[in-house]
Amino acid sequence: MSLPDWLNPEKIIPISRGSTTVFKTGTWSGNRPEHREKTSPCRAACPAGNNIPDALFAASQGNFDDALSAFLEESPLPGVCGSVCYHPCETYCNRDKWDGSVHIRTLERAAADYGNAIPIPLANSGERYPVAVVGSGPAGLSAAYHLARMGHPVSVIEARDEAGGLLRFAIPLYRLPQGVFQKDLKRILSLGISINTGEKVGTKKLEEIRAKSSAVFIASGAQRSIKAEIPGLDLEGVLPGLDFLQKVRRSVLTELPGKVVVIGGGNVAVDAARSARRLGADKVEVVCLEQRGDMPAHEREWSDALEEGILFHYGWGPKRFLGKRSRASRVEFAGCTSVFDSKGRFSPSYEEDESLMLDADWVILAIGQVPDISPYRASPLAERGFVQTDPITLATTWEGVFSGGDFVTGPRSVVEAIAAGKRAALSIHCYTLGKPFSEAEERTLLGDGPGFSIHSFFHPREGWDPKSVVRFEDIESLCLDQEARRSLGRLSPVERTTGFHEVDIPLDLREAVQQAGRCFFCGTCTGCDRCFLYCPEVSLLPPDENCSFYRADDAFCKGCAVCAAVCPRGVMTMGEVK
């Protein structure tokens, strides 16, 4: 039976069985999405330029070997940084604007704890130049590590009997367990770096080394405690801050009976006070020039110290040490009205009428540390009384000699020292090859710098724009869950002060995977396929054997920007047809 037209299924409604592929709609548009990876704000904020998104993505998949490998791209000391870094990354984390930043520092530590990885070699020209590094603190180790990855033979000279500088002899164990540092150190040395310990370097020695090497990097740190001209300084029981910390780390001092007064408002002072507490001091008091809000010590260290029962006196400067039978017994302080002069220079002024008298069996003087350039007195390095370097290349005025870290800047953080070592390594590499460093730096600068990626200089990442930093506004928040930042496990103040146990309890494996999963992976494609799935024209092609990233099919892409709008991490970006 034949149907009338008005009932004929093939006639009553329009149905197209042709293909719209005949319409090359892509040729009508001038816009094209580009797969443009960008830099995450955490990475841009990290002085070491750590590849945090790749590391945390691997961790979120439970792959801590790859997580560690990603951290090792830029830094030799993930275990150390994962324990002690003041984590500017977390301050700039985009998730902070959502429901609390990701626990990046603790996850770096988890990568170091649970992962095993060999640092990826940095492809090199095949030419090998011997380089000497003076000092095995974080700056020296960092320079040695990266230079060795490039294939250069590196020898490290260390004045002390063991490598590590302040990592080994200053930072208290409750912040950095020895095993964590040793694991990092072992990995660094596995690159074939030789370390000569117990060898002091001065002008003469440096000349010798220079003659045998293509370049030298001096990273001797800032280890000389400032000694103020205060009456009674030589009394027994008065100790410089770094010396005190070193004695504790060497187990020379294992107990500290009596009352302890620590002078100074910086991190060394707080480390000293908290160590004194753990050595069984009856009373520990910290006295500093600054008012509470102006103390240079990190907030967290200060509040931990308070919890541990340490008393703080703000706005006092030491006037004199009083003793009994050549041993310190009291300290007198004068009220400090201002720390800096009108030009911002350190120049405390006192109100002599006001005074504070504290009983003290021990006085730890931690009022600052400076580089000790006395060994180089007769060299071009010491011409100006301090080591002068080019801030970009870290070259000193002495041809072939580079310097960086605390030795140049005065005391800074571990991560800044690591950054200086990395900068020196690439700078020296360029110097030995006779190439300008500024070009190399320019290519890999993260955001506005000064951090850069040494790894991507040797292994360029296709489709990555390192200078472009992902803002929170670039994150597609519709796909985000709420999972607030959790506070992590810590020892109670009582547990802490019975010994030098690590205060922050490391993440267990399951927790680490979970916390890593909170990362937005800003600017880094995780292959989530949203752009591919949402493309209304099915014209966004996923990676395949020919191409490692998502790209538009020029024949059909209308440039509608849906892919860019749905990208959760700001990778897909609209551009123009090339």
Contact footprint for another protein (CB under 8 A): 4-7, 9, 11-17, 20
Min dist. Cβ of residue 4 to another protein (A): 7
Whole-number Å distance between alpha carbons of 223 and 417:
14
CA atoms within 13 A on the CB side of 460: 6
CB 286 within 8 Å of CB 331: no
* Closer to another protein by Cβ: residue 13 or 211: 13
| Beta carbon nearer to another protein, 74 or 537 | 537
Assess contact for 68 and 172: CB atoms under 8 A.
no
Query: Least distance to another protein from the beta carbon of 18, Å?
Result: 8
Closest CA to 514 of 65, 96, 103: 103
Q: Which residue number, 14 or 126, has a Cβ lying nearer to another protein?
A: 14
Cα separation of 167 and 418, whole Å? 12
Q: Which strand (E) or helix (H) includes residue 320?
A: strand 316-324
Q: Is residue 258 classed as helix, strand or coil in its secondary structure?
A: coil
Q: What is the distance between the terminal CA atoms of the chain, rounded to a whole angstrom?
A: 59
For the bound state, the minimum distance from the C-beta of residue 27 to another protein, rounded and expressed in Å, comes to 19
CB of 480 to another protein, least distance (A): 22
Q: Name the one residue in this structure whose structure tokens are 């604007």.
A: 97
Q: Compute the least distance from the CB of residue 459 to another protein, in Å.
A: 44
**What's the burial of 328, exposed, middle or buried (CB within 10 Å: 0-12/13-18/19+)?**
buried
The SS3 of residue 490 is strand
Residue closer to another protein by CB (options 25, 397) is 25
In 89-204, beta strands by DSSP E = 131-134, 154-157, 194-196
Residues 397-433 as b/e (b if ≥16 CB within 10 A, e otherwise) read ebebbbbbbbbbbebbbbbbbbbbbbbbbbbbbbbbe
**Cβ closer to another protein: 15 or 211?**
15
Nearer Cβ to another protein (22/211): 22
Please, what is the minimum distance in Å from the beta carbon of residue 13 to another protein?
A: 5
**Nearest distance from residue 439's CB to another protein, in Å?**
54
Structure-block tokens of residue 301: 């260290």
Q: Is the Cβ of residue 5 or residue 255 nearer to another protein in the bound state?
A: 5
Q: How far is the CB of 3 from another protein (least distance, A)?
A: 10
Nearer to another protein, 14 or 30 (CB): 14
**Amino acid identity, residue 564?**
A
CB of 22 to another protein, least distance (A): 13
Q: Where are the alpha helices (DSSP H) in 218-284?
A: 241-249, 267-278
d(CA 218, CA 212): 15
Indicate the residue among 14 and 344 with the shorter CB distance to another protein: 14
CB of 535 to another protein, least distance (A): 17
| C-beta of 7 vs 211, nearer to another protein | 7
Residue type, 82: G
Q: Which is nearer to another protein, 5 or 439 (CB)?
A: 5
Closest contact distance (angstroms) between CB of 14 and another protein is 5
SS (H, E, C) 376-422: HCCCHHHCCCCCCECCCCCEECCCCEEECCHHHHCCCCHHHHHHHHH
Q: According to the 3-state scheme, what is the secondary structure of 482-543?
A: CCCCCCCCECCHHHHHCCCCCCECCCCHHHHHHHHCCCCCCCCCCCCCHHHHHCCCCCEECC
